[in-house]
Amino acid sequence: MTPTLRATRSVTLKPAGLRAGWLAGGVVAVLVALIAGLALGSVPLPPGGVAIELLNLIPGVDLHSGLTEREAAILTELRLPRVVLGLLVGGLLALAGAAYQGVFRNPLADPHLLGVAAGAGLGVTAVIALRAGAPGDATANLPVGVPAAAFAGALLAVALTWLLGAAGGRDRSPATLILAGVAVSSFLAAGQTYLMQQNVETLREVYSWLLGRLATAGWHDVLIVLPYAVVTAVIVLAQRRELDVLTVGDEEASGLGLHPQRSRYLLIVAASLGTAAAVSVSGLIGFVGIIVPHTMRLLAGPSYRSILPLSVLFGGAFLALADLLARTAGGQAEIPIGVVTAFFGAPFFIVVLRRSRASTS
- Kindly state the average pLDDT of the residues 312-319: 96
Alpha-carbon dihedral 352, 286, 261, 147, rounded to 10 degrees: 170
Checking phi first, is residue 141 left (phi over 0); if not, alpha (psi -120 to 50) or beta? Answer: left
In a domain, 323, yes or no: yes
What is the chain's alpha carbon radius of gyration, rounded to the nearest angstrom?
21
Other beta carbons within 10 angstroms of residue 17's beta carbon come to: 12
* Helix or strand run (H / E) with residue 33: helix 20-39
The structural domain count of the chain equals 1
Other beta carbons within 10 angstroms of residue 146's beta carbon come to: 24
Q: What is the pLDDT of residue 141?
A: 45
- Per the CB < 8 A criterion, the answer to whether 103 and 271 are in contact is yes
Residue 155 has pLDDT above 50, yes or no: yes
In a domain, 38, yes or no: yes
Look at 329 and 89; give whichever has higher pLDDT. Answer: 89
In a domain, 13, yes or no: no
- Per the CB < 8 A criterion, the answer to whether 287 and 341 are in contact is yes
In a domain, 105, yes or no: yes
Describe the crossing of helices 260-282 and 80-104 by its angle, rounded to 10 degrees.
150
**Length of the chain measured in residues:** 361
What tens digit of pLDDT does each residue of 165-201 get? 776 555 556 667 778 888 998 999 899 888 888 887 7
- Per the CB < 8 A criterion, the answer to whether 169 and 122 are in contact is no
- The CATH number that applies at residue 186 is 1.10.3470.10
Question: DSSP characters for 82-141?
Answer: HHHHHHHHHHHHHHHHHHHHHHHT-TT--TTTTTHHHHHHHHHHHHHHHHHTSSS-TTTT
In a domain, 353, yes or no: no
What tens digit of pLDDT does each residue of 323-349 get? 999 988 877 778 888 889 988 888 887
What tens digit of pLDDT does each residue of 18-74 get? 788 999 999 999 999 999 999 998 889 999 999 999 999 998 888 988 999 999 999
In a domain, 257, yes or no: yes
Residue 109 has pLDDT above 70, yes or no: yes
- Per the CB < 8 A criterion, the answer to whether 214 and 89 are in contact is yes
In a domain, 361, yes or no: no
Checking phi first, is residue 13 left (phi over 0); if not, alpha (psi -120 to 50) or beta? Answer: alpha
Contacts of 345 (CB under 8 A, 6+ apart): 286, 287, 288, 290, 291
Domain that holds residue 342: 25-347
- Per the CB < 8 A criterion, the answer to whether 265 and 66 are in contact is no
- Per the CB < 8 A criterion, the answer to whether 273 and 231 are in contact is yes
Percent of the chain with pLDDT over 90: 32
In a domain, 167, yes or no: yes
Residue 321 has pLDDT above 60, yes or no: yes
Confidence of residue 4 (pLDDT cuts 50, 70, 90): very low
Contacts of 145 (CB under 8 A, 6+ apart): 127
